[in-house]
Amino acid sequence: MKEIKIETKMQLCQMDELSPEQQMLVNKAKEATANSYSPYSKFRVGAALKLANGEVVTGANQENASYPVGLCGERVALFAAQAQQPGQPVRTIAIAARNERGFTQEPVSPCGMCRQAIMEVEDRYKQPIEILLYGEDGIFVVRSIADLLPLYFVGDALK
């Protein structure tokens, strides 16, 4: 039996260490939490992504009494961007979350379904998507979703 070690690297930054563009995107994600429909969990997630053409698209989680019907903020933003501008790769996505006490202290990472959806977009355009995960105590900067989903599944696996 052979043991395989998988490592993930990311940066932990404060807001003032981010570029102005990254700061703007994080702030848009924070603002997007106001558009969350989350009467059940009270956990508001906002996402903002920047397309290759410079356009910013936002999304927020949308819950439903039939829980599987809801969507996470990340996928709302991704799907809106891909439906409205299917030829535009996503360069960066920022994610922020807050509960009834305010924004989370620690960065919140995308769920498994959102990681898979982001991976599909990365694979579609053959380029990494930078991920900014906001927390009051710091922001994780991740170079690609592959760092959060190292054993990913993409269309080539179906061949």
User: What is the longest distance spanned by two Cα atoms in the chain?
Assistant: 50
CA–CA dist 99, 61 (Å, integer): 13
Gyration radius of the chain's alpha carbons:
16
- Which H helix or E strand runs over 148? none
CA–CA dist 54, 91 (Å, integer): 9
CA–CA dist 124, 103 (Å, integer): 32
Show which residues are catalytic: 74
